[in-house]
Structure formats: structure tokens, C-alpha cells
Amino acid sequence: MPPSAPTRAPHIPESVRALFPALAGSSEVYLDSAATTQKPRPVIDTIQGYHASRTANAGRGTYPWATGLSVRLSRVRARAAAFIGARHPDEVVFTGGATAALNAVALSWGLAECTDGDEILYNPRDHASNVYPWHHLRQLLARFGRRIELVGYRTTRTGEADTDDILAKLTPRTRLITTSHLHHVFGGLTTLAELRGRIDPAVLLCFDCSQSGGHLPVDVTELGADFAVFAAHKMFGAPGTGILYCHRRIHDRLLPFLPGGNSGVRLTEAGLTRAGMPELLEGGTHNIPGVLALGTALEVLESFDMAAVAAHNRELTTRLLDGLRRVPGCEFLPGPAYASCAVGYGIVSFTLPGITASDLGFVLSELGFLVRTGLQCRPGDSADTDSVRVSTHIYNTFDEIDRFTACVQTIAEEVS
């Protein structure tokens, strides 16, 4: 039997779930926040408000509807900079999402800066969006006679980047190290803190914060990031919106990857003139309702206190691990299950003998538990396997976790 506990973890007021209309009155348990988060009512209202009242294009007119939107977008940029720990608003670029942001790094920095023989260190077991752009960059550069090397590093048993392996693979030709801040399947947190003072400061650091943003406090300055990317839809915002953080020290080394209207570049007899940041990387019309919704999402997250959100997810993770450890045959993928102390950031992946992950996910959904299954956007290699992933957020409760683990235990006993 699951241990007795309050139906909600500490730190979280009872009114929280009421903010999320999709959860109101639902008998289903949503445990897939690493794929996308539920949207709070204020975010929904912001999107509807843009379309229902004074719809205009920011930066395209001198009338109040347009100029007012420009002011609102500037305020969201400043709020986003403060939320992620950027020192300057012009270090925040609005993108079409985290995938678009990582591709922007590859195209705006990589095409401009990488030369023959340069190396990029990456994790082959990261999300495909932090793997494929670098392979795409290598293929593009090869067409112009520049051959770069992609050097893969290992993942530890706790689901973190293996910094000893990174150190062993660093060479004078290493230009960039890219990693997931919080791994989307393993739930391991990587800060690269062990590398500080041990690598050439010229080596750039890129963090995929798609899973950590909106789930725990993130400070890009503290991380020492040159680039960092965030997915708005995983932090209560709308799909199709993201943040690319670019440290000021590399602004003059970037080229536009999407030149056009609003990108700030100008055509002269000598060619395209360079614009300042962030306009350099923001060609085209912004996803205005998405950016406005991001601003509202950040307000909601700040109202909860990110430290309290992180504590809530840690407690839920501990509860989940304790429950799954009692399930016969349950095997954990790398992650917090193997940590030497109680850690957890709301992501746990596992398998059961006698049933495939996809079949287990189907059975769980039929019983009202919504989880992710499969390789989960990993490129896949011999070390990877299909699994069930559970991912939580502020709106999940102890009671939901207890009912979930009890359900998994019943299934495990039936298929054994």
C-alpha cells in the first residue's frame, strides 16, 4: 500500500490547480510536462486578448495599437532577461522555439565561425534538437570545403554529462561544448561547473534549458553560458515561441540566419549591413501572441516562486522513486534513481519486464495516466531503449503519484 500523505506537497497553495482549465474536473492524471506544460488561465486570456482586441503588428506602424505592442514586447524581453539571469535585455532573442533557437546558434554562429578542423563536443543521447543541428552544420560546412568534427561524450549513471569524459576529449580545436541543462529523459542536471577554470575561456558553452526553464531556477550568468535556449510551451507558454540567450561577448561574431523584415539589416552597394542585437536574429514578424503569452507565463511562474516549484518537483520525484522501487522488475534509466542523495527535478524514466514501453503507456492511458513512451526524441544508439517517462509540475500531487505507482505495480504483477 502507498504511504499516507497529504494530497498536495508542501509549498503549493490549494488554488494552484484551479489556474489550469484543462485539469479542472478531469479524472485523468497528466504526467507529461516534459513534453509540454498545461496552460494557466492568464496565459489563455492573453492569447485571446491579442486576437480579440487591438490586433496589430509591432514595430510596423506609428499608431497606438502598433506602438503599444512594441512597448509590451520590450517589457516581456526585459522580464525574460531577469527571469533567466541575463544581464542585458539585448541578450534575449525571441525565436520559434528551442529547436529554432539551437538551429540559430548553428547557423548564425557556426557557419560564420567554424573553420576546417574545428571541433564541437556534444552528447549523442541528448534531445535530437541538440544533436541534429550540429550534424546539419557539419554537412553544410563540408559543401564549402570546411570539415569540422563532432565529438560525442558520455552520460553518467545519474543522467548527467560526464565532465571527466569532456575534459579528456577537449583539444585546442574545441570551439563549443553543448549540453542539456536538464536531460529530457534521464532527469539529470548538468551545470558543467566542474569545468570552470579547467578549459580555455575561448571555448563557448551552450545549454539546452528546455526542461529546466520553468521547472527550477535558471541563471545563465551563473552557468557561464554563452548560449542558452528555452521552450515557452514547457514553461506555461504557447507553442511556437522560445528564447535564445546570447552573451554579449559573442554578439559581434554572429550573422543573421533569417534576414528579412524586422531583422535590422540593410542592403547597400557593399551588400547587407550588420544590425545590432537582438534584431539581428529576429527577422520577420514576431509570434506576437506567443511572446505576450510568454510574459504572462513568467508572471505566473514568479508568483509561485521558482524555488518552491523546484522543491515541489523534487518531493514528487522522491515519492515516485520510492513507489516504483517497490514494483517487481522495475528498471530505471540513468537519472536520480542512482544518485547518492535525494535529488530530482520532476523527470523519471523506467521499464518493466514482460511488457513494451508503448504497450505499458497505452494501458496506463486507458487507466487515466498520461505519460510519454518510446525513445522520446533521442537519436538512439545501442545504449538507448524505449521507456516510460513520468514528468511532473506544480499542478501534480502526492495522491496522483501514489495512485500511479500503485497502478504500475498492479500491471507488473499481472504481466510477470
Tell me which residues are annotated as active site: 377
Asked whether the beta carbons of 309 and 236 are under 8 A apart, the reply is no
Strand pairing category for 92-95 and 242-246: antiparallel
Closest-CA residue to 331 (of 354, 314, 349, 356):
349
φ and ψ at residue 177, rounded to 5 degrees: -115, 125
The beta strands (E) that lie in 21-81 are given as 29-30
Name the residue type at position 107.
Answer: L
The angle subtended at Cα 242 by Cα 239 and Cα 246, nearest 5°, is 170
Set of cell numbers at residue 382:
545501442
Q: What share of the chain is helix, strand, coil (3-state, %, to 5)?
A: 40, 15, 45
176: CB partners within 8 A, 6+ apart: 109, 110, 120, 121, 203, 204, 205, 206
φ and ψ at residue 175, rounded to 5 degrees: -110, -30
Name the residue type at position 374.
Answer: G
140: CB partners within 8 A, 6+ apart: 111
1: CB partners within 8 A, 6+ apart: 406
133: CB partners within 8 A, 6+ apart: 102, 103, 105, 106
Set of cell numbers at residue 98:
528551442
- Three-state SS across 378-408? CCCCCCCCCEEEEECCCCCCHHHHHHHHHHH
